[in-house]
Amino acid sequence: MTVRDLIMCIPLLGLLVNGGCSTLDNGRGWGQDAVYPVRWKRIPLAAKRALLDPVTWVSGGSAALFAIDDFDNKVSNWAANNTPIFGSQSGAQDASDVMVNVLQAEALGTGLLTPSGHDPLDWTFSKAKGIGVEYVALRATSGATDLLKDATGRLRPDGSDRESFPSGHSSAAFGSARLANRNLDSIALSPWVRTSLKAANLVTAGATGWARVEGRKHHPSDVLVGACLGNFITTFIHDAFLNLPEDSNFSFYLEPSPRGVFLSVSWSFE
């Protein structure tokens, strides 16, 4: 299916989905307030949230640890030689392709399932704006990844080219998982189902990154930086420009402080 075919199907999908969808808690549709008007106060808050998100700083910090005592190459060689999860290098490469495609499809699918009202035209316009923001987030992730690949020129473990750092599969997987998980927050689900789906998405994204290591296409630090990059960019763009209500959002952050680590738990209100 081409992009044009997908766009043509959106009104039909709206009619199919509308049977169980209405609006968000504030009475607005998902995507209805995307981009315009720009709420400037959300931009620095979104940047801080994206930076302090655990996936961002844990993956980024972990990548630095692999620079110690050639740990990066040792783990890369061990994983590619033993392939403990996927059984072979080719199997790992194939699995990484499948998993990243699944996560990208889920990001789109969950966006379509969010509540955007009953009127087909309003639904279509809201979906176009909301999914447009998420598409830009994924394209920005891909662009930033490509820029870093060109700037660093790191040789892949298999020696095929110098596009090892960071991993594009990992940045795309974690970016897509983040968007899917954000979308799940807007869908009426039981807490257990929502939490389970979110955890499954993160596990799938992590497995995608590991598959690239077993497939001898990336070092562990490549996939960890890719995860950091994908999570940060998509979280920032989503939270800054989709303009979703935050009156029910719960969040927590761990921030370094001179005396150790500061735990912040908050509910956001607008």
Q: Rounded to two decimals, what is the model's pTM?
A: 0.85
pLDDT bracket for residue 211 (50, 70, 90): very high
- Domain count for the chain: 1
Q: Which two tokens stand for residue 219?
A: 């070092």
Q: Is the pLDDT of residue 228 over 50?
A: yes
- Name the β-bridge partners of 267: 250
How many Å apart are CA 251 and CA 248, to the nearest integer? 10
pLDDT at residue 246, as a whole number: 67
pLDDT digits (tens, 9 = 90+) for 106-151: 999 999 999 988 888 888 999 999 999 999 999 999 999 999 999 9
Q: What is the pLDDT of residue 20?
A: 40
Cis peptide before 11 (omega within 30 of 0): no
Report the C-alpha gap between 134 and 221 in whole angstroms.
Answer: 26
Residue 232: pLDDT above 80?
yes
Residue 262's DSSP bridge partners are: 255
CA distances to 89, 126, 130, 187, 236 from 29, rounded to whole Å, are 45, 7, 10, 11, 21
Residue 78, number of CB atoms within 10 A of its CB: 13
* Residue 52 to residue 185: CA distance in whole angstroms: 19
Range of 1-10, 105-114, 244-253, 257-266 with top mean pLDDT = 105-114
Q: Lowest-confidence range among 170-179, 244-253, 259-268?
A: 259-268
Integer Cα distance of 67 and 65 in angstroms: 5
pLDDT at 247 over 60: no
First to last CA, the chain: 40
User: What is the mean predicted confidence (pLDDT) over 86-96?
Assistant: 97
Rounded Cα distance between 258 and 73, Å, is: 33
Using an 8 Å Cβ cutoff, are 169 and 156 in contact? no
Give CA–CA dist 197/268, Å, rounded: 23
- Condensed to tens digits (0 to 9), the pLDDT of residues 2-34 reads 444 444 444 444 434 443 457 777 778 898 889
User: Could you tell me how far CA 127 lies from the centroid of its own chain?
Assistant: 19
Contact between 130 and 225 under an 8 Å Cβ cutoff? The reply is no
State the Cα–Cα distance between residues 243 and 52, nearest whole angstrom. Answer: 20
pLDDT band at 263 (very low <50, low <70, confident <90, very high): low
pLDDT of residue 270: 35
> What is the overall mean pLDDT for the chain?
86
219 sits in the region (left: phi over 0; alpha: psi -120 to 50; else beta) called beta
**CA proximity to 220, closest of 65, 72, 69, 61:** 72
How many CB atoms sit inside 10 A of residue 39's CB?
Answer: 14
Q: Check residues 187 and 40 and name the one with the higher pLDDT.
A: 187
Residue 105 in tokens: 């499809």
Domain that holds residue 160: 3-267
Q: Which token pair is 144?
A: 């930033």
DSSP 116: -
Percent of the chain with pLDDT over 90: 70
Per residue in 60-84, pLDDT (tens digit) is: 999 999 988 899 999 999 999 999 9
Is residue 141 within 8 Å of residue 214, measured between CB atoms?
no
Is the pLDDT at 259 greater than 70, yes or no?
no
**If you ran DSSP here, which 8-state letter would residue 89 be given?**
H
